[in-house]
Amino acid sequence: MQILYNLAAILAVILIIPVFMIRSVREKGFVERIRQSLGFFPEHTLDKVAKKHCIWVHAASVGEIVATSPLIKEFHKEFPQTPILVSVVTTSGYEMANRIIKDADAIIYFPLDLPVLAGRVLRRIHPRVFLPVETELWPNFLKTARKLHIPVMMVNGRISDRSVKQYKYLNSLLTDMIGTVTKFAMQSDIDADYIMRLGAPPELVTVTGNTKFDQTYTDVSPAEKAEIIHQMGLSGAEGILLAGSTHRGEEDFVLKAFKAIREKHAKAKLVIAPRELLRTQEVIHLCKRAGFTVTTRTKQQEEGPQDADIVILDTIGELGKVYSVGDVVYVGGSLIPHGGHNILEPAAHGKAIIVGHYMFNFKDTHALFKKRDACITVNNEQELCQEAVKLFDDAEHRHRLESETLAIVGENKGASRKSAIILRNLLEEYESNPENRQRARSTQKIDNFQTYFIDLVHQKEVDGPLMHILTAILYVFSRIYALLVDIKLWGYRHGIFSRRQLDCFVISLGNVTVGGTGKTPTAQRLASDIRDMGYKVVILNRGYRAKWHGKIGIVSDGERLHMTAADAGDEAFMLAKHLPEVPVLIGADRSVTGQYAIENFGAEVAILDDGFQHWQLERDMDILLVDAVNVFGNGYMLPRGTLREPISHISRASVCLMTKVDQAAEGSREYIRETVHRFNESVQIVESIHKPRRFIPLADWYVDIAGDGIDVNQMRGRKIMAVSAIGNPASFEQTLSDLGVVILESLRYPDHHDYSMQEMADILHQAERMGAEAIVITEKDAVKIPMEVIHSGINIPVYVICVEVSFQQGKEEFSELLAQRLEKKLGSRPAK
């Protein structure tokens, strides 16, 4: 069903292109509507809400915007620090939103619900919550929201009879959409019953009432009312008949009723507001053919008030206020089988209201007013004439209706406030759940090809024909890459490619996937242990993202640092800073840097950090790291997946080290064991965790990396912002959550990202705005932050969380194996 929907959506857009072209010429603002619907938003608008955990409220057109207006006011009161985004579908809705919704931080057109497009926009904005108004449910958009763990709450929910019948044909598509919504706040018991019939769980459905009862933008003072009457040339009228939101065919009925009124009230006036402004000339022709003089609101605005029998309201967004001047109001769309329009706008002004019997789109509201005799329902044009004349003749009857409509509006206010409270409770419950906490609050701060590609290669399954084509192409390249890897390794094994051997004990430390598995802290722990065993150890790092590009780079000689983090790369610099007695060298060819370390530092043991694929160098022990949380990625080779080489190459490993086992399910650990032993029966398997030791203020970390800092338990319950640019940010965030800190937001930058002064200023400002007590970063991030930040007198503390690798199950066996192999090649040493 999803595929059929996507094909139909794409076909519909293609077929409607000519219509778009015509409307682009005829309608002001339509070009901007198309631009934004295709995902091209003004940057200054998007910057206010994108990646800032905004509340996204989506309303289709003018009617929904009217219902949204009081909601936005209440949301702004309830969440004063949270940006609010409002989206619309129609041009009239966009203009109306900009007129009446002043508390929104940004107003945009909703993107077309096309494969890829809807997801790309949602990922770019990544709101805290998405709130469709009434029945604005879009399959592709909601599917992406579910994947990103963005809660969805339907507000002012309304389901018509027609919608219930139509939705049932959507089958699985409807089930998916309904299943994505976290809470249904419906207008009435009837709407609640309808949504439950469509599959909504009863425990997720609540009735709040209609937010249009709360609208205040239509409030008109006596002075404003008098000014509207003057501007529209209605002064001196002996009563005003106002027909709002009329459809083709209804104007004839209204004109006949007006003619009957004029027989008794010669100075009566008529205001007609056609639902579609494009019909203005058609309505003018009908009025003239009926023998009346006619003018338009826009003409009066240009030339001043004009005395005419009929005024055509041909402007957007004014009807709500203009209803105030009518003495008798007919609400259109109700004498034809359209389903009517909302009667709450004229009711808010206390008007005598007439509607036709086709009110099925507003069944509950109509039933409420009809039960209280607060509106008159007619079945045909004759009854419309009779009731309109009667109301003009009988002022007492008219005043009774006016009083009753005002009473109903007053009694039913409060739906917007209820919705705001429900939203508050929903977010507190959703975000307090450990499974949702960091997912709901994790924000990718930079969207570019790198981050898009990373997201793509991590996915096991994709949606949409375009994504399937793209991943199919990547899969072909991954097969070619796998073949080349096998050929290269075969060449080294059979002596076609030469391998160098160092006169020392060589340990390679690496993985078969890209991304963070904890290689650097493991290399640090391993080097420290070997040093304490009495051997002279060096670390050979390739110097990824280093500015230094020579053959041999000395980051540390075992006594002092010789390079900055920018020159050495973050990983090599961090190793050198943590291991002051261990030389750290960088260079692409480890045989060259290794030989230099032997000759100049007397190296006995060389650890190849991220060296599992450095086949040109012989090694005495291969330690393979496997992330217990993200096991072998999605199972595909680069570039379709994250595997650097086939899983079968596990056979080369001497030791398999499972990292972060405390964050993984037991099933994942068993799967790793089974997979590893399938390709390597003799390999020794060891488990490890990343154990947080302390939090150190950033300035102190630069001075003394081994400083006391703050005990991890002292951060429990504190509200923090997490910031990271590492391969596996989810693991970092999980570590913080396990310590009991409250993550208000987690900002994720691409791996190895260099922070600019402006970015740090934005981070600090956002943390203060959210009420964070501190910012927490990793050591890998600490070396990337400009020194100017440390000395700039920041108002909020920045802490570096220091972690160490702790070997768990298999620790004794691994230590024994390492000691035996070292002693066999190098002899024993007195332990330190």
Residues with a known catalytic role: 64
Instruction: Give the whole-angstrom CA distance, residue 281 versus residue 288.
Output: 11
Confirm or deny that 506 is annotated as ligand binding: no
Confirm or deny that 517 is annotated as ligand binding: yes
Retrieve residue 478's tokens.
Answer: 């991954």
Confirm or deny that 514 is annotated as ligand binding: yes
What is the number of H-type helices and E-type strands within the chain? 34, 28
- Residue 101 identity (one-letter amino acid): I
Confirm or deny that 516 is annotated as ligand binding: yes
Instruction: Give the whole-angstrom CA distance, residue 23 versus residue 344.
Output: 31
Instruction: Give the whole-angstrom CA distance, residue 158 versus residue 194.
Output: 9
Confirm or deny that 827 is annotated as ligand binding: no
Which DSSP symbol is given to 510?
Answer: E
CB atoms under 10 Å from CB of 515, counted, come to: 16
Residues 6+ apart with CB under 8 A from 486: 646
Residue 161, classed as helix, strand or coil, is helix
Ordered DSSP codes for 111-159: PP--TTHHHHHHHHH--SEEEEBTT---HHHHHHHHHTT--BEEEEE--
- Residue 719 identity (one-letter amino acid): K
465-493 and 2-26 are packed helices; what angle lies between their axes, rounded to 10 degrees? 120
- β-strand pairing of 710-711 with 684-697: antiparallel
Confirm or deny that 513 is annotated as ligand binding: yes
Q: What count of residues does the chain have?
A: 832
Short-list 414, 270, 411, CA closest to 329:
270
Cα within 13 Å of Cα(125), Cβ side: 36
CB atoms under 10 Å from CB of 542, counted, come to: 20
Short-list 102, 99, 109, 9, CA closest to 59:
109
Confirm or deny that 518 is annotated as ligand binding: yes
Instruction: Give the whole-angstrom CA distance, residue 313 versus residue 297.
Output: 5
Confirm or deny that 244 is annotated as ligand binding: no
Residues 6+ apart with CB under 8 A from 478: 636, 637, 638, 639, 640, 641
∠392-396-401 over CA atoms, to 5°? 85
Residues making up the annotated binding site for ATP are 513-520
Residues making up the annotated binding site are 513-520
